[in-house]
Structure 1
Amino acid sequence: MMEKQPVRSTTIQNTETQVPKTPQMNDRDYLNDLLLTEKYMTVSYVQALHEASHQSFFQDIKNVLDQTCDHQRDLYNLMFNKGWYKIESQDPQKIQQTHQQFTQYAQQQFPK
């Protein structure tokens, strides 16, 4: 029997922009704080959508949520470009297997 070789993940990261290492907040700290705030806000807006009783109010909140998601993505991209955010690559075969698993599950749970 052939033994499967472990898949090595590869870190994907840009060259890190250096910031001063002082007790004061630096650009990376500010951007990280903003990103965390945007993430928190999206969760709060989704909760507000669940509880909105008026269609016009629901739509206003949804518009703000969409803008907040866009801002969150912009902050992530900026931090990634500066090398302050890294991701791990995954094996395409493993991604495909997981996708098929969830597709099959959804088809079983929600037949047409």
Structure 2
Amino acid sequence: MSYSLDFSEKELLSDLLMSEEQITHSYTSSIMESTCPDLRNALSICLTNTQNCQFEILDLMNQRGWYKIKEADSVDIENIRNKFSILYNELS
């Protein structure tokens, strides 16, 4: 029995995006749990590369209208800045 797997570009990019997100989470967890500086550094490089790849996929999907990205306005940015400033001060 043979199967034909014809995926659209949108389906392939969506799958790639989800895969990159999972890999990003795995690298982040591994970095947080590692005590070896060399391993942490190597994983950090991998994480950055994965994040860059994830952004490229996201950008391609956005260009094609398959993933809408909401631009943050100055009010949103200021609200987030205030929120994290309060959290930072509470933890200090």
TM-score range, shorter chain: 0.7 to 0.9
Structure 2 unmatched runs, 5+? none
Name the SS of the counterpart of 2:10 in structure 1.
helix
Structure 1 unmatched runs, 5+? 1-22
Greater mean deviation of Cα atoms: 35-44 or 48-57:
48-57
Alignment match, 1:51? 33
Q: State, as a whole percentage, how many aligned pairs show the same letter.
A: 25
Question: Residue type of the partner of 1:32?
Answer: S
**Higher alpha-carbon Rg:** 1
In the TM superposition, what whole-angstrom CA distance separates every residue of 1:76-95 from its partner, at most 9, and x where no partner exists? Answer: 01110111111345664354
> Quick one: which of 71, 75, 81 aligns to 2:63?
81
Q: In 1, Cα distance between the equivalents of 2:18 and 2:38?
A: 28
TM-score when scaled to structure 2? 0.78
Name the SS of the counterpart of 2:35 in structure 1.
coil
The answer to which structure has the higher helix fraction is 2
> Quick one: which of 64, 69, 76 aligns to 2:51?
69
Higher relative contact order (CA 8 A, sep 6+): 1
Q: How many equivalent pairs are there? A: 88
Q: In 2, Cα distance between the equivalents of 1:91 and 1:66?
A: 26
